[in-house]
A and B are shown apart, each in its own frame.
Chain A
Amino acid sequence: QKEVEQNSGPLSVPEGAIASLNCTYSDRVSQSFFWYRQYSGKSPELIMSIYSNGDKEDGRFTAQLNKASQYVSLLIRDSQPSDSATYLCAILQNTGFQKLVFGTGTRLLVSP
């Protein structure tokens, strides 16, 4: 079982719709969770962090965390073509030091 699992996609949504990206993780000890956006050929850009159960909203983005189910998701409201990118889910693995463990990413395509 991979430590962080994501559907590779592509997830296709029309402009203006809600895009829902999902991630499951296996490490029950992890307390910190992140979503990064990565455009083709570029480096990951941090868009959301979440540390406690529930929802966290920032503009058009909402991160949701359920530690009991080991599940974290990202909702993008009013999706725009510029949101088309790969979204990487990452957990902070605390094994004496802190390193990020990433999923393989979900590719999102927003069509005009």
Chain B
Amino acid sequence: DTGVSQDPRHKITKRGQNVTFRCDPISEHNRLYWYRQTLGQGPEFLTYFQNEAQLEKSRLLSDRFSAERPKGSFSTLEIQRTEQGDSAMYLCASSLAPEGEQFFGPGTRLTVL
């Protein structure tokens, strides 16, 4: 039984570049979440998918951010024209039920130079 996986684990980019992260949830989990965590803070919600439908987006998700979950399986999070303030750990979580426990992947640590 594999857990949530994320790729890449680390990404260093220059300001202004585009980056894309991938998340593979636990198989059969139909709910997928993206969170962002900065040093000394708890994770903050970014967006939520139920199957392939993106049902909620945080105001933290500016128009430079876009997320997809084609076919309700893996998900991608793209950041366009990266800024230094985008440097953070991007976490993906999945769950099976509405009130269910959310399980996190290892995260993608983004550094924008």
Q: Which residues does A use to contact B, with CB under 8 Å? A: 4, 8, 31-32, 34, 36, 42-46, 49, 51, 88, 90, 92, 96-105
Chain B residue numbers with a CB within 8 Å of A31 are 99
- Taking a contact as CB atoms under 8 Å apart, the answer to whether A46 and B106 are in contact is no
Chain B residue numbers with a CB within 8 Å of A88 are 42-43
- Taking a contact as CB atoms under 8 Å apart, the answer to whether B42 and A105 are in contact is yes
Could you say which interface size class chain B belongs to? 20 to 34
Does B105 sit within 8 A of A, measured CB to CB? Answer: yes
- Taking a contact as CB atoms under 8 Å apart, the answer to whether A102 and B104 are in contact is no
Q: Assuming the A-B contacts A31-B99, A43-B91, are A99 and B56 also in contact, with contact meaning beta carbons closer than 8 angstroms in the complex?
A: yes
Q: How many A-B residue pairs have CB under 8 A?
A: 57
Complex alpha-carbon distance, A88 and B35, angstroms: 14
Chain B residue numbers with a CB within 8 Å of A44 are 43, 91, 104
Tell me if B's interface is mostly helix, strand, loop or mixed: strand
Chain A residue numbers with a CB within 8 Å of B106 are 42-43
B28 vs chain A, min Cβ distance (A): 17
Q: Assuming the A-B contacts A97-B56, A104-B40, are A43 and B89 also in contact, with contact meaning beta carbons closer than 8 angstroms in the complex?
A: yes
Chain B residue numbers with a CB within 8 Å of A92 are 99
Chain A residue numbers with a CB within 8 Å of B35 are 100
Does B65 sit within 8 A of A, measured CB to CB? Answer: no
Complex alpha-carbon distance, A36 and B107, angstroms: 15
Complex alpha-carbon distance, A100 and B103, angstroms: 11
Chain B residue numbers with a CB within 8 Å of A32 are 99
Determine the residue in chain A with the shortest Cβ distance to B103: A46
**Chain B contacts with A in 61-113, Cβ cutoff 8 A:** 89, 91, 93, 98-99, 101-107
- Taking a contact as CB atoms under 8 Å apart, the answer to whether A99 and B45 are in contact is yes
Does B2 sit within 8 A of A, measured CB to CB? Answer: no
Contacts A/B (CB < 8 Å), 10 sampled: A32-B99, A34-B101, A43-B105, A43-B106, A46-B103, A99-B56, A100-B35, A100-B102, A102-B44, A105-B42
Greatest chain B CB density within 10 A among A4, A90, A99, A105 is at A99
- Taking a contact as CB atoms under 8 Å apart, the answer to whether A4 and B99 are in contact is no
